[in-house]
Amino acid sequence: MRILRIFWAFIVRDAIMSTSYRLAFAMQLVSLFLSVISVYFMSKLIGANASVDRYGGYLPFTVVGFAVTAYFTTGFSSFASSIRGEQVMGTLEALLMTPARLPYVILASSIWSFIWTTLSAVVMVAAAWILFGVRLHGHYAMAFVLLVLTTVTFSCLGILSASFIMVFKRGDPLKFFAGSLSFLLGGVVFPVDLLPGWLQKVSMLMPITHGLAGIRELVLADRPALSVLPQVGILLVFIVIGLPLSLWVFRKAVNVARREGSLVHY
């Protein structure tokens, strides 16, 4: 119950802050519709292509890519952004002095970001359906499992990113390289098959490649749920290694910041 109270307190705080700027909130929703419209006209330019036709065309392929990438962006950046925000407001030290355990603070500080991401993904998919008749079909339960696993792997990278922010305040190399390469090589806006052979091997080292490929196979190509078990296994390996490692690194980063007295610096 104590954990739920901590999570609820963070959700209420962040929700009030986000929705208090009503015009910006509405503009964000409108921009999602506009992005879907932009992709539609791009799909008209590209036309039929064997690489994406099995997914219903370029529009469904890219809409699903953007929706999943929204979770990647949130999982990867929300922890670091939350830490940075607390540093700038001068509340980080007070937050870490509360009785709440460090893992709970890390997770709770980003819950609202994931709620907003879910809303954004729903709006994008709904816009593609309402405006252009794009429909998802297939094994939603397994697709949800893959999405959760993929998001957790993103979050592991995000916690490592937050560790850099905790110690160095600015200039996170992990965010620059992992974020940029994942978008470029992960199959977000074009199939991985189009990459040169050696880059395809590099893309296989990124969790977004496996999660996104599996989700597309399930909700666009209507493949059997068991067909994505290899992707599930790969993501579980990422999580088993990445989650304890990222939490350990973040705890070490907090200890370093405490010893140096830099928790209140930004």
Q: Is residue 139 part of a domain?
A: yes
pLDDT at 214: 92
pLDDT at 82: 61
Residue 262: half-sphere exposure toward Cβ, Cα within 13 Å: 16
Question: What does the pLDDT look like over 25-39, one tens digit per residue?
Answer: 778 778 888 889 999
* % of the chain exceeding 90 in pLDDT: 15
Q: Is residue 104 part of a domain?
A: yes
Q: Is residue 29 part of a domain?
A: yes
Segment (H or E) for 159: helix 140-168
Tokens 């910041």, residue? 257
Q: Is residue 144 part of a domain?
A: yes
pLDDT at 115: 84
Q: Is residue 265 part of a domain?
A: no
Question: What does the pLDDT look like over 171-185, one tens digit per residue?
Answer: 566 666 677 788 888
Measuring CA to CA, how many Å separate 77 from each of 40, 51, 88?
28, 31, 16
Question: What does the pLDDT look like over 176-209, one tens digit per residue?
Answer: 667 778 888 888 888 888 889 888 998 998 888 9
User: Angle at CA 204, nearest 5°, toward 202 and 207?
Assistant: 115
Closest CA relative to residue 157, chosen from 214, 80, 105, 89:
80
**How far apart (Å, rounded) are the C-alpha atoms in residues 27 and 246?**
35
Question: What does the pLDDT look like over 93-142, one tens digit per residue?
Answer: 555 555 556 566 667 777 777 888 888 888 888 899 998 888 888 888 89
Question: What does the pLDDT look like over 38-52, one tens digit per residue?
Answer: 999 988 888 778 888
pLDDT at 6: 66
Number of domains the chain contains:
1
DSSP state of 63: H
**How far apart (Å, rounded) are the C-alpha atoms in residues 87 and 165?**
9
**Mean per-residue pLDDT, 14-28:** 72
Tokens 């940075």, residue? 84
| Ranges 103-107, 156-160, 221-225, 245-249: which has the least confidence | 103-107
Please say if the pLDDT value at position 80 is more than 70.
no
The CA dihedral of 104, 107, 113, 118, to the nearest 10 degrees, is -110
CB 58 within 8 A of CB 42: yes
Q: Is residue 266 part of a domain?
A: no
The domain of 172 spans 2-260
| Ranges 50-54, 149-153, 212-216: which has the least confidence | 50-54
Closest CA relative to residue 222, chosen from 64, 53, 54:
54
Q: Is residue 168 part of a domain?
A: yes
Q: What is the pTM of this model?
A: 0.80
